Structure 1
């Protein structure tokens, strides 16, 4: 009886052990399943992340390639720009050198123009000097004014000797007054003395005696009257001094301008009296002025050719 009792106890203990082991195995299997599921899910998530990362990496590589391409283009543009800058610097340097050269040429031209201006002014002053000498010679002999208080001779704004018509002629006449003859005799002597100067004579082309009237009457009549008065003056200059005609008659010329070159635009009687006049103009030789210009041009060309060598 005792032996059977022991066997029963062992069987009962064995039955209590197996359910616990099964539960443990099930638990382990369940844990493993969850672990595998978790690993699978992680692999899926990781795979997606890898794909996304690869995609981003590819996009980044494309951006890098585009950036490299742009960088290369920029480098090429920088090289071209640098080349243009260098060319510009060279051109600027050449331009600065040319500007300096032009400044020198301009400065030289200004000096030469100043010299030419001085020479031409000298020619103009020579003309005025001749007229002043003639005017001064007349005033030394006859005075500055006649008995009526009229100025015998003056120098106009145009540099001509102006003889008051009332001193030489009566109104509307080309017959000389006695005081007019005396004035013209002194004028002829003065011109002889001036023309005796070889240097002065070399610069004179002609001595023009010009007749002028006012605007009263017919222009054709006034033209004839002004021409006759001018001719009368020239003829008396030659008549009163035979030497001047024989030596220098070729210099004198007469012309009539009628009413068309007034020195006063006023309609008063005083203005009309001023317009009725005899003018004497010293005409300088064009060749003298031309020689001055030619000399300047020759010097300029020599300087220009010297700069080009």
Structure 2
């Protein structure tokens, strides 16, 4: 074989070898590309699977979100209703509390006024008690003074006692008058004169003169006699200096006995004149009225 031919063959051989290597390289690259493609397709399949899973999860989450939104809306609506109810109840409660407070304030004011009235009443009661005690002391003193002035007359003719805040000077008929008479005798005038000396300067007393009889005789006559005797004594006291504005005459006949009229002793006790001395209680009554 000629060297030229050999060189041509050798050159062809190198070219074919080069092509073979190129093909082998291309094949290797192709196989690698196929492996890469297979890996990529697997990754893609895995990715698609994950995507489907994620999509399903997303859809589930979306459903859950929508459910939550609906629940949230319902809760908001319920809360709104609750808030509305609570607001109304709060408003009603506030109004009720205000009314209660107003009523309480009124009651408190009334209580304070009552306490002030009670305090004022207590003050007036203390003042009244002091005034009554003063009057009692004055009446005690007056009783003693009258008893001392009339001590010369015996207990069968005259008595001085205090009842219910008044002084009762009881004078028997035989000390003042003859039987069935309304004219004072000397002994009676003397007794009344001594009594008038005590009373004439006492402008703080009311003097009521009551005539009393027993049951003997005509009732109309007894009325008249008891009244005339009381009037006679009133005039005598007036003439002796006792203020007539403080004097009152009254006939009681036999309607207020101090003893039974079934014995002469009892009748004698009933035939009497009572001079009743009462303190003028204008200031005391004013305290009563103000209370």
Specify if TM > 0.5. Answer: yes
Aligned counterpart, 2:21: none
Give the deviation of 1:292 after TM superposition: 7.0
Matches within 5 A, 1:25-104: 69=81, 72-89=84-101, 91-93=103-105, 95-104=107-116
State yes or no: 1:256 paired with 2:257. Answer: no
Give the deviation of 1:70 after TM superposition: 5.9
Aligned counterpart, 2:172: 164
State yes or no: 1:245 paired with 2:246. Answer: no
Aligned counterpart, 2:286: 293
Gaps of 5+ in 1: 1-53, 239-243, 301-309
Aligned counterpart, 1:31: none
Give the deviation of 1:138 after TM superposition: 0.5
Give the deviation of 1:88 after TM superposition: 1.8
Matches within 5 A, 1:198-213: 201-204=202-205, 207-213=207-213
Residues 169 and 186 from structure 1, CA distance in 2 versus in 1: closer, same or farther, beyond 3 angstroms? closer
Aligned counterpart, 1:114: 126
Residues 193 and 171 from structure 1, CA distance in 2 versus in 1: closer, same or farther, beyond 3 angstroms? closer
Alignment deviations for residues 216-267 of structure 1 (CA, whole Å, 9 cap, x no partner): 43321111221233344456x56xxxxx736447465543221233345x55
Residues 92 and 207 from structure 1, CA distance in 2 versus in 1: closer, same or farther, beyond 3 angstroms? closer
Give the deviation of 1:211 after TM superposition: 0.7
**Distance between the aligned counterparts of 1:247 and 1:111, measured in 2?**
39
Aligned counterpart, 1:8: none
Secondary structure at the aligned position of 1:257 is classed as strand
For normalisation by structure 2, the TM-score amounts to 0.56
Secondary structure at the aligned position of 2:127 is classed as helix
**Distance between the aligned counterparts of 1:173 and 1:247, measured in 2?**
24
Determine if contact 2:210/2:275 at 8 Å carries over to the other structure. Answer: yes
For normalisation by structure 1, the TM-score amounts to 0.53
Give the deviation of 1:295 after TM superposition: 12
State yes or no: 1:138 paired with 2:163. Answer: no
Q: List structure 1 runs of 4+ shifted beyond 6 angstroms.
A: 61-64
Gaps of 5+ in 2: 1-66
Give the deviation of 1:110 after TM superposition: 1.8
Q: How many equivalent pairs are there?
A: 220
Secondary structure at the aligned position of 2:90 is classed as helix
Give the deviation of 1:210 after TM superposition: 1.9
Determine if contact 1:131/1:161 at 8 Å carries over to the other structure. Answer: no
Give the deviation of 1:203 after TM superposition: 1.9
